[in-house]
A and B are shown apart, each in its own frame.
Chain A
């Protein structure tokens, strides 16, 4: 599936990891949260990609609805024996993951390169 099929992120297919670069600085608005969740689900269920490296360089704001959708996506990915790794989180966003305990559910890494390595460990 080409990049222009997705509005909320750019995607790069490597083997076996799919790199998903999120585009929105704010993932708070319900419309954006829902569309992002649908597009990520499409990537997992229809494009059959389950090793996902989410690159969050651009993301500055994240609501609990966005976090909840990541948790749901994690369940889908797990069903396909996959995994989600999050890379390049800005400090306020990293704090959200730390304080909500979600750093225990997701692997957080500093860079894309580190993220790619995480899948081989």
Chain B
């Protein structure tokens, strides 16, 4: 992860319950609305947060009520930063198969990670793989993959 710390303005602990996860997403989206972020930017953040929060509760904390999601974020007129950390053992994002490959199209894994990468300006996991930092610059285009681009988190190396 980058050593440059965003100016975190909110820190919260969220129980491993989907409804609580959805509540923090609603709070964040309301903040972006207040700041006048355009619908496309809100859509992008909404998608990425839904994926990251639900993944953290479901796959990271495995719905264990004794575990929490640690969320901190900052939103201003131009940028949104968020860090979501679960209390699970983590995973290797580079080991997730590319869901856009023909042989994986009918599988159901990897698509959430891809959505996060497409719709956020930056997505970075810690070494353990239980914490993700995401950033969206207001007005950034979607990270549409180039057909010949192998430089993604799904690369084989």
On A, residues with C-beta under 8 Å from B are 28-30, 60-61, 63-65, 67-68, 71-72, 74-75, 92, 95-96, 99-102, 104-105
Bound Cα distance A121, B104 (Å): 27
Report whether over half of chain B's contact residues are helix, strand or loop; otherwise say mixed. helix
Inter-subunit contact B145/A104 (CB<8 Å)? no
Instruction: Select which of B46, B106, B111, B144 is within 8 A of A75 by beta carbon.
Output: B106
Complex contact A71–B22 (CB within 8 A): no
**Nearest opposing residue in chain B for A26, CB measure:** B46
Assuming A29-B22, A63-B115, is B145 touching A99 (CB within 8 A)?
yes
Interface check B102, CB cutoff 8 A: yes
Q: Are A28 and B50 in contact (CB under 8 A)?
A: yes
Contact A101 B105 (CB under 8 A): yes
A64 close to B114 (CB less than 8 A): yes
| Contact in complex: B115, A71 (CB < 8 Å) | no
Given A64-B115, A65-B54, A68-B108, residue A28 in contact with residue B46 (CB < 8 A): yes
Bound complex: CA of A74 vs CA of B106, how far in Å? 9
B residues engaging A (CB < 8 A)? 18, 22, 40, 43, 46-47, 50-51, 54, 99-102, 105-108, 111-112, 114-115, 118, 142, 144-145
Q: Give bound CA distance, A63 to B51, whole Å.
A: 7
Tell me, rounded to whole Å, the shortest Cβ–Cβ distance linking A28 to chain B. Answer: 5
Number of A-B pairs whose CB atoms are under 8 Å?
60
Contact B111 A64 (CB under 8 A): yes
Q: Assuming A30-B54, A95-B142, is B102 touching A100 (CB within 8 A)? A: no
Query: Chain A residues with Cβ under 8 A from B40's Cβ?
Result: 92
- Assembled-state Cα–Cα distance A30/B51 (Å): 11
Q: How far is the CA of A115 from the CA of B89 in the complex (A)?
A: 46
Does the CB pair B106–A100 fall under 8 Å? no
Q: Flag if A64 contacts B51 (CB, 8 Å).
A: yes
Q: Are A100 and B108 in contact (CB under 8 A)?
A: no
Which residues on A sit within 8 Å (CB–CB) of B99? 100-101
Nearest B residue to A105 via CB reads B105
CA distance A100 to B107 in the complex (A): 12
